[in-house]
Every structure is written in C-alpha cells, then in structure tokens.
Structure 1
C-alpha cells in the first residue's frame, strides 16, 4: 500500500517500514462526535500513503483506541498494510499497578479488545515508571511479544540514561531490544533528538517516532504576532498543557519568538509552502526521525500536512542554514574531553 507521494523509513534497526508521516489520535474520544471526524482523518491519511497510526490507552481514557478500532473496521483496510501502535502509562488514571507484570498483562488485553485487533505492531512503555523495576516491565513486554500480542516494543519520553539501561537489561538476558523512542521534537525542542540520543542511535540503532512537530500549533503561523487567539487554550483536556507550551516557547521570549516565527513565514513564502509545512518538512528532514506524528483539527488540515513530504525536498543545505540562523538554538554537542586542552597556568 506504499504511495509514490510518501517516503518510508525502517523503524530503527528493525524490518518494519513506516511512512515518514504518521497519524496520532490523541484528541479523539475526549468529546462527543469525534468518531466520524477520526474516520475521515484516517481515510485521508491512508489515501495519502500513511501506514503508521498511533494511539494510547490514556487518550480519551480508552475511547480513542475504541474509535481507531471502529475506524479500521469501517474502512475495511487490509490490517497487514497498517502499522498500529499503542502505549501503556504508569498513572493511576488508567491502572494502579503502573507498568508491573500484572498491569501490562491486563492493559494489552483491554487495548486489543478496544482496538478489535489480535495484535499491535509496536507496544510502548508510555513514560518511565520509577516504582516498578524496569527489568520486570521489559520481561513482560518480551512475553507479550512471544504471545504475538505485539511484534515490537518501544519507549516514550525516556531519557538517554533510561534508554541505555533498557538496552543493558536486554543484553544481559538476551531479550528483544526496544526499536523506537517516541519523543517530542520540533523547531523549539531539539536537545534530546539531536544531542542526548546520539549515542543510542549509534550503539543500538533506535528509531524515533516524534510527536508535536508543530509545537502544539505554535509553528503553524497562527501565533506569529506572539499572542494567543481569543478562546484558545481555555477548554479541553490539554488546554493547560498547550498554554504552558505557549508561555515556554513564545510568551516568555516574545520579541525573539516573533522575529523567528515571522522569519520562518517569509522563508516559507519564498519556498511556495505554508509555515506549517516548512516546520513539518524540517522535522522529517532529520535522518534520525523515522516518522513525525500528525494531529489535526479537521481532515482538510491533513492535505497541507501530507504535502510536507514534497516540501522536504526543497530543504537544501543553504535553506537549512537559513533556518538555523532564524532559530539560533542548535544544541551544543556533548563535550569531547579527548580534545580538551586546559588553559596554561598563569605565572
């Protein structure tokens, strides 16, 4: 079901090939009437060559999984052509046992029932659980893979040290390693993907399925004056998170942020694309990004997002250098102490 208009990459060092743009249904299920909207989004994505669909038990407290399962059944698409992923989180909102053996066994059964599937392609540990031994969580994940309830596993928002610990445990026991980390990545949030995870890429070949490529809409062009639109961030399950994100990336540095955003808009105009397309193209231009997970406020919005694959081809080294000048936030690389020369002592 691959499309010539889409690019596909292998997820980490696995043989699982996924579209460079994916769809996430995080906003599904929190309010009434989202099922048809979700179906229209999934349908448009599949028509555009997207094969990667991400959900989680936490989204809509299970309702998002149900909606995605209904969407797949309604569409009648070939399950083998789709890559479906879900995530299990250590929060009392969905289970008091964290990422324990007991809870993960229960969680996968509930998720598969809601999704109306026999298996998910990738199972994620959706945040690190500091109260359950990591070895216990990884052991049961491997058992679930042996039971064909998942084919691969990954992590979400684990730091580099925690990822290294995951791989060390797998090495010790001969278990299946995680193939992907799901992490926030966009023009304003770069350090983990571009610096902290570099040793993990090199040592273990992990892929990344990044979320928030438009920084919750901040890079869409709607905030280029540095102000929040009336009514924005005042309701909804993630309104407080979005407001905090605005304050972090724009509100607390308004003058500099406006200059950057308006500069990106001007560059996008030169390239003949939207500012949102430029921001998405920049994310997937990074070879360490396997896929960028899209959200949408309407199915029509996905038309522009999917076109970012073509915009990516316009990001020449010269254009990328201009973007770097506008952003001014490239993470400093880790210190190479072999090249360190101390200052000579003063006499």
Structure 2
C-alpha cells in the first residue's frame, strides 16, 4: 500500500518498485522478546507506506524468518503490495555452503518458515569461496524458474564478484542480479560511493543498504563519545558492535564528538532528529534504492520513519555543511583516459 508520505524507487533496472525506507528484522530474534512488539513494528511500517521487508535464514537461525511470516499472516496484508526478501548464507546450516544441494532445500525451508509461496528477491548472502559461483547462480535461476523467487541479488559482494556474476549470466543466458545489499552510512562511504560506482553505472544495479545509522552511532545517543549503559547487552553481535565502536568512535574520539555534535546542530536547525538526518542523508543518494531500518524499540522506529520528510530539507547548502563536518568524501578513481603527465590529479 503506497502512501503520499513515502517515496518509492525502482529496484535497479527491474520493474520492482520499493519504498525508500525498508524494514529489516535481524534483531527480531532477540530484541524486546515480544511477539506483539514485533508485529506492531511490521504493522506500523506498512501503515506508513513501507513495502520492503528484509530477512535472512541466518538471523536467529530461522527465527527471524518465522517471525516475519507470522506478522504478515496476522496482519492479513495483501501479499501483492509487499516486497519480501531473504538471503541464503554459506555458513550456519551445515557444511554444504551455497551448493546446489543445500540451496534447493534452503529456499523450501525459508518459504515454509515464512508461510509464503515465494519471495520477491532472493540474495546470495556473502560470496562462498568453496562453491563455484556458477553453481550457485544456476540454482538461483532454477528457483526463479520454479516461481519460488522472482528476482535475485547479491549481499556484501565485492564489485569484482558482482561483475563475475554478470559475466556468468551473459555466458549462459541466465537471469542476472538486480540488486546488491551492502553497508552505507556517513562514517563508511568509500566502498559505496567509489568502488561500487562503476558497477551501478554499467549494470544499473539497485541497492538495499544496511546500517544507515552505523550501529546507532549516528543516532545522537553517542554524541559524548561513550556507549550508553546496557547497549546491546543481550545481543549476539556484541563483539562486532565493540569492533565498530572502536573503529568509528573509540579510536578517534575527539574528532568523532566534533562530527556528531555538529550533525546534532544541523538536525536541530532543520527541525528533525539526528537519526532522521543521518538516514535522510543516505536515501538522498540516488544510487540508494532503499535503506533498511532496524529497531530496538518502538520509539526508534517512529523516529526513523520521519527520515523521508527530513530528506526533503537537504538543500545543496545543507549537504555542503554536512560534507565539511564529515570530511571523508571518497577520492574518485583515476580516469586514466584523461590523464597526461604533469597534470595535477584532482
């Protein structure tokens, strides 16, 4: 169900139209611990025009898929209005990785957990170095031929691996991917804005980006440089969280505080929250098809949904101020066609 307050974009060069904000339920297997809370998040998203819902078999080893399926069934929503995606992971379910044997069974297991006949997009969730990529892509096409998925994509592939996917599909006449799911936020820009740019241009690839708030560090709750008490205390991702904290804040605390408090000032002037500003900045990028929101409490979801309105306030002048605060615009790759000796690099 589309709403006037939500913006929708085509997912790559496909005819699939997705809300610019999506909902990811990775935390559903451990956050809050309430089925009512999980359903209310899904329902609130749909009522606010969100039509894109992302999950994966690895999230809670199937628990997140089960929760999403229950929520959809409980709400009685029109399946045609929703874009449901899941991901098959090379680890976590035995030793067979992304082999034809396991993928054929894995999609059936995922659909059974979600109580669905099909998913709209099926991702290869990380590159599997132990299985020929051609084998995985062949079975993805079989899954599409059997109407268990309509499109497919990659998740956290390198640009080179994505190009290999297209080469394999062209060789065999197979359906190519339409989307890459990757990390993108104010603190980590190089991979998305520089490394993936040629792939976006060459193949018209869509993107469903994750962690637009950088583990919550851009939400405003870390502006003093410290971790709030009790943060992720029950999370199975605590080690990863600490690693990210050290990378983006702990190792450069003074600079990070200046950036974060500066962003707070800009957000206050625009009349939005700092979290809304950070997400709005991400979806302002035309190479972003949808930004996947997570939520560890209902109030966070309410706040994040306001990012679409905040995006409309990002004028060129405001974006320039944000660039000055971030100071991390990626350096473009050298264009050797236009390079001559003794010409200054730009």
Give the TM-score of the pair, scaled to structure 1. 0.97
The 2-side partners of 1:230 and 1:313 are apart by 34
> 1:134-187: per-residue Cα shift (whole Å, max 9, x none)?
000000000000000000000100010000000111111111010000000000
The 1-side partners of 2:52 and 2:89 are apart by 20
Indicate conservation of the 8 Å contact 1:44/1:299, yes or no: no
Structure 1 position 242, deviation (Å): 1.1
> 1:233-292: per-residue Cα shift (whole Å, max 9, x none)?
444211111111111000011111110000000000010100000000000000000000
Q: Which residue of 1 aligns with 2:82?
A: 82
Indicate conservation of the 8 Å contact 1:25/1:55, yes or no: yes
1:267 to 2:266 alignment: yes
Classify the secondary structure of the residue corresponding to 1:14. coil
Indicate conservation of the 8 Å contact 1:56/1:87, yes or no: yes
Aligned residues: 343
Indicate conservation of the 8 Å contact 2:56/2:88, yes or no: yes
Gaps of 5+ in 2: none
Structure 1 position 332, deviation (Å): 0.6
Gaps of 5+ in 1: none
The 2-side partners of 1:78 and 1:95 are apart by 35
Q: Which residue of 1 aligns with 2:68?
A: 68
Indicate conservation of the 8 Å contact 1:126/1:155, yes or no: yes
Classify the secondary structure of the residue corresponding to 1:168. helix
Structure 1 position 31, deviation (Å): 6.5
Indicate conservation of the 8 Å contact 1:233/1:243, yes or no: no
Classify the secondary structure of the residue corresponding to 2:26. coil
- Worse overlay, 38-47 or 234-243: 234-243
Indicate conservation of the 8 Å contact 2:31/2:296, yes or no: no
Q: How does 1:297-336 map to 2 (within 5 A)?
A: 297-336=296-335
Q: Which residue of 1 aligns with 2:22?
A: 22
The 2-side partners of 1:34 and 1:121 are apart by 27
> 1:101-138: per-residue Cα shift (whole Å, max 9, x none)?
00100100000000000000000000000010000000
Classify the secondary structure of the residue corresponding to 1:72. helix
Q: Which residue of 1 aligns with 2:43?
A: 43
Indicate conservation of the 8 Å contact 1:118/1:149, yes or no: yes
Indicate conservation of the 8 Å contact 1:41/1:298, yes or no: no
RMSD: 1.2
Indicate conservation of the 8 Å contact 2:32/2:297, yes or no: no
Classify the secondary structure of the residue corresponding to 2:231. coil
The 1-side partners of 2:302 and 2:29 are apart by 23
